């Protein structure tokens, strides 16, 4: 039997009864720098090219492609942690909003 745990709060999730959310993240280095005066191909899809290279590797990432270049993550979340994640997916610190009067 497969056991699931929320990767945020560590709550054990019952696969038969609990709703579980899966979050998949893909993080890669963006290679946007273009030398001044160089030809720029507007139709070139760099993201697609990187994706095709990674697919050709059949899931085997070469040691030359380190974590600072490409990472793929998967997380299981309980409903409460899913709501919190959706409100603030990149965990941006929020400043409190104060309600001042109009005087």
- pLDDT (tens digit per residue) in 65-88: 677 788 999 999 999 999 999 999
Non-local (6+) Cβ contacts of 24 within 8 A are 72, 73, 74, 75
**pTM (2 d.p.):** 0.59
Contact 29, 23 (CB under 8 A): no
Per-residue model confidence (pLDDT) at position 59:
56
Element (H, E) at 46: helix 46-56
How far apart (Å, rounded) are the C-alpha atoms in residues 80 and 92?
18
CA–CA distance, 35 with 54 (Å, rounded to integer)? 25
Q: What distance in Å separates the CA atoms of residue 14 and residue 69, rounded to the nearest whole number?
A: 36
Helix count (H) and strand count (E) of the chain?
A: 2, 4
Apex CA 29: angle with CA 32 and CA 52, to 5°?
90
pLDDT digits (tens, 9 = 90+) for 21-63: 999 999 988 876 655 556 666 777 878 877 777 777 665 555 5
């Amino acid at each position: 039997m497969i056991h699931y745990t929320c990767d945020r709060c560590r709550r054990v999730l019952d696969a038969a009864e609990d709703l579980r959310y899966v979050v998949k993240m893909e993080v890669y280095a963006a290679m946007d720098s273009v030398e001044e005066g160089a030809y720029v191909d507007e139709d070139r899809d760099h993201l697609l090219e990187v994706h095709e290279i990674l697919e050709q590797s059949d899931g085997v990432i070469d040691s030359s492609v380190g974590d600072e270049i490409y990472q793929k993550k998967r997380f299981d979340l309980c409903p409460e942690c899913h709501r919190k994640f959706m409100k603030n997916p990149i965990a941006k610190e929020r400043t409190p909003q104060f309600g001042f009067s109009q005087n």
